[in-house]
Amino acid sequence: MPVGKKLTSLAYELLSKKNAAIYNQAIMDFGATVCKPQLPLCASCPLQKKCGAFLNNKVSILPIKEKAIKKTQRWFYYIVAQYKNEVYIQERLQKDIWQNLHQFVLIEMPEKSSVQSVINSNAFKTVFGSIKYNVAENSKEYTQILSHQTIRGNF
């Protein structure tokens, strides 16, 4: 089992199900005041006798940091296409974390793009073909930071 999964499973096993909120707060306080990443207070730590890092003289090398995650940058342009009182909504079919969710028409561009570039893209033409339209508005740029990617874009 990968280390991350093992730790998650162990953490869940140890979690007080009845007092999860208090338990989680206590763990965070313990990490902030006693078992700190820099200079943990092992000499006065109540868990010293059960601590694998302390007993094996590995406090200074644990936890081993995983390699920094390389974040990708993506540019999403959502087309809020309105016809009379209806708005075009599409289902996401791509196999990713948003699969089967619904969204405004998404045109993903390889880089920051102007409205005109989005309109000129093949992805836009594939969805809208030769439909006549009028661009009423272009929103400000929004940013959503996720663990593995940063998404920027407009509506």
Contacting positions for ligand SF4 (CB under 6 A): 34-35, 40-42, 45, 47-48, 51, 53-54, 59
CB of 68 to ligand SF4, least distance (A): 23
CB of 55 to ligand SF4, least distance (A): 9
In the complex with ligand SF4, the residue whose CB is nearer, 53 or 123, is 53
In the complex with ligand SF4, the residue whose CB is nearer, 2 or 52, is 52
Q: What are residue 146's phi and psi, to 5 degrees?
A: -110, 175
In the complex with ligand SF4, the residue whose CB is nearer, 41 or 89, is 41
CB of 44 to ligand SF4, least distance (A): 8
In the complex with ligand SF4, the residue whose CB is nearer, 40 or 153, is 40
| Number of C-beta neighbours around residue 141 at 10 A | 11
In the complex with ligand SF4, the residue whose CB is nearer, 34 or 127, is 34
Q: How far is CA 15 from CA 23, 24, 37, 155, in A?
A: 7, 8, 21, 42
> Which residues fall within 8 angstroms of residue 106, CB to CB, at 6 or more apart?
76, 77, 78, 79, 90, 92
Calculate the CA dihedral of residues 12, 64, 27, 97 and round it to 10 degrees. -50
CB of 58 to ligand SF4, least distance (A): 9
CB of 73 to ligand SF4, least distance (A): 37
How many angstroms separate the CA atoms of 150 and 152, rounded?
Answer: 7
How far is CA 50 from its chain centroid? 34
